[in-house]
Amino acid sequence: MLAGGAGLLERAAGDLRRALSEENDQPDAAGGPDAIVGAARRSGGAGQKYLRHWLPSDQRSARLAIYNSDDELRFEESGRRDAARIFPYLSPRSTVLDFGCGSGRVARYVAPRCAQLWAVDVSPRMLQLTRERLRETANLRFARCYDVAIPDVPSASVDVVYSFLVLQHLEREDAFLALRELRRVLRVDGIAILTFPNLLADIYLEGFVHYALSGEVTNQARARVYTPQEVERVLPAAGLSVVDVEAANEIVATCRPVR
Ligand SMILES: C[S@@+](CC[C@H](N)C(=O)[O-])C[C@H]1O[C@@H](n2cnc3c(N)ncnc32)[C@H](O)[C@@H]1O
C-alpha cells in the first residue's frame, strides 16, 4: 500500500483539508499565514481552483493533510518507502519532476539520487514547506502548477515524473489535462510513475460511499476513484503508453510517452 492514501486515512485527511480551507476563508490574523499565502489566497481566478485546500500553516499541519498523521517518523519512513519505487528509474544524470510534491515527503529521498528535481505544486505554501524541510538539498528547483499547467518547466526536459496521491484530488477532466501536461514535459524516452485510488479496493469503495452519503461531492479536494481499466484507458488518451499497472488499494501506473 502506498503511504497515506487509502480509504479511512484519505477520508480523515479530507476532513482536515476541508477544515484548513474553511480556516483559510477567514481574514488574516496577526501572526497567521505569511504574505505569499495571503496573496495567493486573495488572488482567486485562473490557476487557483485547487489552491485553497492546500495551505497548511506549518509542517505538522502539512503532515496531517498529506498523511493524516502527526507522527514525523512514520511520515519520513513512508517517504523513504514510496521513493524506493522511483529508485530503479534514476541515474545521477536524471532530471526528475515530483508533481504535487506536498512538503517533500518523497522528494527528500529521491533528490539525492538524481541531478535535478523539480518540486511542483499548486500550493506556494507547500513549496515553501518543501524548501524549508529540504534546505540541505542543493539540486531542487521549484515550480507552481496553475490548475493543470506548469509553465516554468520546459517541454521534453524531464527523464522521470512521479506523482503520488495527487491526481485523485483533481476533477477527472483536470487530471486528464494534467496527464497531458506531464506528457509535455517528459523526454521521449522518459518514464512516469503515477498513483490513483482503486475503486475496486474495499477501502476506497468505502471512502466513496462515505463521500456520497456525507455530501462531500462539493469538496474540491476529495479523492476521485478509478478502476484499473479506466487508468489503462485514460493514460494512452493523454499520450502516455502503459508499461505496467499494479492494482492494490492504490493503482500504480508506470507509463512512457506515446511515440
Ligand atoms: C495528498 S498531498 C500528496 C503530497 C505528496 N505527493 C506526497 O505524496 O507526500 C496532495 C498534494 O497535491 C497538491 N495539489 C493539489 N492539486 C494540485 C494541482 N492541480 N496541481 C499540482 N498539485 C496539486 C496539493 O497541494 C498537495 O501538496
182-211 pLDDT per residue, tens:
999 999 999 999 999 999 999 999 999 999
The CATH fold assigned to 7-257 is Rossmann fold (3.40.50)
Pocket test for ligand 1, best of 121, 131, 161, 196 (most atoms within 8 A of CB): 121
Q: From ligand 1's centre to the CA of 66, what distance in Å?
A: 8
For residues 39 and 202, give the distance between their C-alpha atoms in angstroms, rounded to a whole number: 41
- Does an H or E element contain 119, and which? strand 116-121
How sure is the predictor about 221, in pLDDT bands with cuts at 50, 70 and 90?
Answer: confident
pLDDT in tens, 37-60: 454 444 445 788 999 999 999 999
How far, in Å, CA of 139 to CA of 118, rounded?
A: 9
The pLDDT of residue 8 is above 60:
no
What's the rounded Cα separation, in Å, for the pair 153 and 148? 12
For ligand 1, the distance from its centroid to the CA atom of residue 54, given in whole angstroms, is: 8
Complete DSSP assignment for 181-210:
HHHHHEEEEEEEEEEEEBTTSHHHHHHHHH
pTM over 0.85: yes
* 12 sits in which H/E element: helix 7-23
The three cell numbers locating residue 153: 518547466
Distance 165 CA to ligand 1 centre (A): 7
- For 78-122, the pLDDT digits (tens) are 999 999 999 999 999 999 999 999 999 999 999 999 999 999 999
The 10s digit of each residue's pLDDT in 122-176 is: 999 999 999 999 999 999 999 999 999 999 999 999 999 999 999 999 999 999 9
How far is it, in rounded angstroms, from Cα 176 to Cα 20? 26
Report how far ligand 1's centroid is from the alpha carbon of 121 (Å). 6
- Residues within a 6 A CB radius of ligand 1: 50, 54, 66, 100-102, 105-106, 121-123, 126, 145, 147-148, 164-166, 169-170
Structural domain boundaries of the chain? 7-257
pLDDT of res. 26: 43
